[in-house]
Amino acid sequence: MSSAASPSSPVAASSSSPASSRRHAVVRVPVTTVWSAPDSPRPVDAPVVRAEPDAAAWLAALDGEPDGRGRLGLHGRAETQLVAGEPVLVVEEREVAGPSASDPARSSAEGTDAAPPVSWSRIVAPWQPSPKDPAGYPGWVPTDHLTHVPDWSETASGPPPATDHPATDVDHPALVLAREHLGLPYLWGGLSPLGLDCSGLVHHTWRRFGLVVPRDASAQEEGSEPVEVDAVRPGDLYFFAHPGKGVHHVGIVVEPGRMVHASETGGVLVEEQLGQDRLDTLVSAGRLPRP
């Protein structure tokens, strides 16, 4: 995943929280999507912005939409995702009314044309380093998806290592974990086993070892140790870019010329040899800390 521009459309008037009243919070739902703006969600995204989000219903709804209006339509709207227990700093809150952040069926049943106002929080996520904000990845989430806490200083520096990852003496540990998701459908902004994008796969995999790495592919290139493309080892990263443009794709090296990656063009997470189109856009390689 590379950086995406936020769609420009007006939002309701709001009251901002001054810096002195910024609040610590943690995610209370299994997964919440971070949006570019409070009005970024579409009617098809209603299940995942409810107070109790239904990710399975959301993904099913996305897959029922024509190309460009389902998963691919998240470009410029969704930024990343947060998982339960992840700390955030709330820097502003807004109330926004409109069907884009509501359940249309509910509005119809209640005999109203628009949903009641929904509270949104502008946050930064310290577990997801990003050049967009030195404090962490920025964006908007439904306020109902957060629980405010007095302080999260003990957890803000990074997640604890997971206890469910397998040990290996053969393969790079990151490859073992990445392969668990082979066949998973691609999801722009995805950062959980429900759906992943290319850089989300990298970030999610290293996070399971308790290691904090940048969220987006371009930042992952900048944050990794440079490696010559012809000297890669299993667990290194391949980075891809079109001429004159920034990095837009990343994959985890299995062996020279082969990688595990979340392929938007293929629609799923795959392990495969680099085709000519990939070789033509392969611009660099990097190495993250070994778990």
Average pLDDT score, the chain: 88
Whether the pLDDT of residue 259 is over 60: the answer is yes
Contacts of 8 by beta carbon, 8 Å cutoff, 6+ apart: none
Q: Is 249 a catalytic residue?
A: yes
Predicted confidence band of residue 7 (pLDDT cuts 50, 70, 90)? very low
Q: What is the pLDDT of residue 113?
A: 56
Q: From the candidates 145, 172, 198, 204, which is the catalytic residue?
A: 198
Going from N- to C-terminal start, the domains of the chain cover 23-98+116-156, 173-287
Q: What is the pLDDT of residue 66?
A: 86
Residue appearing with tokens 């604890």: 160
Q: What is the pLDDT of residue 266?
A: 83
Whether the pLDDT of residue 102 is over 80: the answer is no
Q: Is 261 a catalytic residue?
A: yes
Mean pLDDT over 220-234 rounds to 97
CA 99 to chain centre: 24
And the tokens for 259? 């990688």
Q: Is 198 a catalytic residue?
A: yes
Q: What is the pLDDT of residue 169?
A: 58
Whether the pLDDT of residue 37 is over 60: the answer is yes
Mean pLDDT over 210-227 rounds to 97
Whether the pLDDT of residue 276 is over 90: the answer is yes
Lowest mean pLDDT among 12-21, 67-76, 240-249: 12-21
Q: For 140-186, what is each residue's pLDDT tens digit? A: 999 999 999 999 998 998 999 987 776 665 679 999 999 999 999 99
Name the helix (H) or strand (E) containing 226.
Answer: strand 225-227
Mean pLDDT over 85-108 rounds to 71
Share of the chain above pLDDT 70, in %: 85
The alpha carbon torsion through 258, 239, 224, 81 (nearest 10 deg) reads: -100
Q: What is the pLDDT of residue 167?
A: 64
* Domain 173-287 top-level CATH class: alpha beta
Mean pLDDT over 271-287 rounds to 97
Asked if 247 and 181 count as a contact pair (C-beta separation under 8 A), the reply is no
Whether the pLDDT of residue 3 is over 90: the answer is no
Q: What is the pLDDT of residue 53?
A: 96
Predicted confidence band of residue 228 (pLDDT cuts 50, 70, 90)? very high
Q: From the candidates 172, 203, 204, 261, which is the catalytic residue?
A: 261
Q: What is the pLDDT of residue 166?
A: 67
Q: What is the pLDDT of residue 104?
A: 46
Asked if 91 and 123 count as a contact pair (C-beta separation under 8 A), the reply is yes
Predicted confidence band of residue 14 (pLDDT cuts 50, 70, 90)? very low
